[in-house]
Amino acid sequence: MDKKEQKLINEGKMLPLMEEFYTIQGEGFHTGKAAYFIRIGGCDVGCHWCDVKESWNADLHPATHTDIIVENAVKLAKTVVVTGGEPLTWNMNYLTQNLQRRELKTHIETSGAYPLTGDWNWICLSPKKTKLPLDPIYELANELKIIINNKHDFIFAEEQANKVNEHCELFLQPEWSKKDLMTPLIVDYVMQNPKWKISLQTHKYLNIP
């Protein structure tokens, strides 16, 4: 990588783009809504159950001019979801400012493990035990989504819920490979603790990206 390209990446004017696609939001508060997904490569959070491990190594994904990413999104969508990998590894200011300038809503899915950059209409915080969120994002999160892989994750969920703002939507989502085991536990837990809602990976049930 030459110095010019590195400068553009530092400024957020180029990003390691893994994939981009128009689909239906499958998880959380905005389930069922059409959205353009921008998946950015690079992540060191290291969730053992991650279903997009090919996103972890940013070097595998070409640095793409952010202006091109914006133009592709504008053609199809009114809402953009930036995900990863861990998108906050990179500077999100230029991307979000230009998307919003074109009247697109900007959503992010993040572990919160890096400082928040970008202007967001919706922040979905999905904390991971392996690398916890930085404190400032808790107050800004619109949605807290905890992946339930085992019974201890319910304890972790409550610990994280105690840190977010009072208006934050709370979701519990079964880890996909253990959905048959964990979903009944989540159902029971939500019925006993109705501040929580259930999130399912409906896009996988629908067999769409």
1 part of a folded domain: no
What pLDDT was estimated at residue 1?
64
- Domain count within the chain: 1
pLDDT greater than 90 at residue 59: no
What pLDDT was estimated at residue 3?
87
- pTM for the whole structure: 0.95
What pLDDT was estimated at residue 53?
85
- Strands (DSSP E) contained in the chain are 14-24, 34-40, 63-65, 79-83, 105-110, 122-125, 143-148, 169-174, 196-198
Task: Average the pLDDT over 78-90 and give the result.
Answer: 96
pLDDT tens, position by position, 107-118: 999 999 999 999
What is the extent of the structural domain holding 181?
14-205
Task: Average the pLDDT over 166-187 and give the result.
Answer: 97
5 part of a folded domain: no
What pLDDT was estimated at residue 87?
97
Distance of CA 183 to the CA centre of its chain: 21
Angle between helix axes 93-101 and 66-74 (nearest 10 degrees) is 30
Q: Per-residue confidence at 18, pLDDT binned at 50, 70, 90?
A: very high
Q: Per-residue confidence at 93, pLDDT binned at 50, 70, 90?
A: very high
Q: Per-residue confidence at 46, pLDDT binned at 50, 70, 90?
A: confident
Q: Please, which residues have CB within 8 angstroms of residue 10's CB and are 6 or more apart in sequence?
A: 91
Task: Average the pLDDT over 91-118 and give the result.
Answer: 98
107 part of a folded domain: yes
pLDDT tens, position by position, 30-39: 999 999 999 9
> 22 — phi, psi (to 5°)?
-100, 125
Task: Average the pLDDT over 154-179 and give the result.
Answer: 97
64 part of a folded domain: yes
Instruction: Return d(Cα 201, Cα 32) in angstroms, integer.
Output: 11
Q: What is the CATH number of the domain that holds 110?
A: 3.20.20.70
3 part of a folded domain: no
Is the four-CA dihedral 112, 18, 44, 115 of positive or negative sign? negative
Q: Per-residue confidence at 209, pLDDT binned at 50, 70, 90?
A: confident
User: Which of 79, 85, 84, 86 lies closest to 107, judged by CA?
Assistant: 79
pLDDT greater than 80 at residue 21: yes
